[in-house]
Amino acid sequence: MSEVAHVPVLLEEAVDALRVRPDGTYVDGTFGRGGHSAAVLALLGVRGRLFAFDQDPAAIAHHAGTDRRLELIHGRFSTMTEALAARGVTRVSGVLLDLGVSSPQLDEPERGFSFAADGPLDMRMDPTRGESAADWLDRATEEEIREVVKTYGEERFAQSVAGAIVAARGREPIRRTRQLAEVVGRAVRTREPGKHPATRTFQALRIHVNQELAQLEMTLPQALSLLEPGGRLAVISFHSLEDRIVKNFLREHSTADRLPRGVPVRAADLPVPPLALVGKAIRASEAEVAANPRARSAVLRVAERTEGRA
């Protein structure tokens, strides 16, 4: 299997947003091929520490470094509180989450994330655990398939897609990526310019199989609780569903409580919210998008932990 290059998106912007201290303790929730982690390590001193999570065994196996400041943890970032506590860590100086799927996962046909080349319909970020996309499609009801494709893929032809999948699996099991892409391609009546008609369905299945949105919703409160005052949370998302969750979480926890009109309390006396937004959402530059088209939809949002109670 050939190694596929992975170019970290918004690398400088995300690492700059963390304001890395030489003696700080940091979390990279998605190690991938280690691009963001390497940039953080370059700023850490000998007393600094970096804990990097990844649920993909291939990402863990790829790393062959011996840097004592870095510890790789095979697991979902939603386990960070428990995993760090087991290592005696209850406070961190920064958390970085780079959401979505990596280039190696997309470009390796045997992982089943893409229809660009034929491969087994797997889509699991950790292929040693859980149910593959093929197995789920084999047992799911038409209504369940429709709901997943509509909700996570925002596919307006979700009903047609679900019906076509159920009809096709009645003839033979759907086990290959190209097989599914052809079924969906016949069901989607119009396509967006430059997009394959199966794009939204593949996105939806990947999100569902890996429970990506649920994992994100579980992780954000943990990051907030772990951050020490002045610590930064930086999140890079790649589609509207992820970004909506991040934006709403940051807004909710950076807004002071609103009291009923007429209550004699000064705004300055209201409890301080636990987060403060840092700047506006950051998107990839034209130059970065030209060099790495997958950066086109990336959005970086940053917040800083205050002294307020979480």
Say if residue 14's pLDDT is above 70: yes
Asked whether residue 237 carries a pLDDT value surpassing 90, the answer given is: yes
Kindly give the pairing relationship between strand 49-54 and strand 227-237.
unpaired
pTM of structure: 0.90
Angstrom distance (rounded) from CA 228 to CA 252: 19
Query: Which band of pLDDT confidence, cut at 50, 70 and 90, is reported for residue 33?
Result: confident
Nearest Cα neighbor of 181 from 132, 112, 126, 131 is 112
pLDDT of 27 higher than 90: yes
Separation in Å, CA 84 to CA 39, 98, 219: 21, 19, 13
Q: Residue 4 pLDDT more than 50? A: no
| 112-126 residue pLDDT tens | 999 999 999 999 999
Q: Which of 187, 81, 172 is nearest to 134 (CA)?
A: 172
Strand, helix or coil for residue 101:
coil
CA gap 22, 20 in Å, rounded: 6
What's the pLDDT tens digit per position in 88-102? 999 999 999 999 888
pLDDT tens digits, 188-222: 988 788 889 999 999 999 999 999 999 999 999 99
The residues facing 233 across adjacent strands are 95, 303
pLDDT at 265: 60
- Summarize the confidence of residues 25-47 as an average pLDDT: 95
Q: How much is the pLDDT for 260?
A: 60
- Rounded to 10 degrees, what is the CA torsion of 166, 168, 171, 174? -90
Q: Say what the pLDDT of residue 195 is.
A: 86
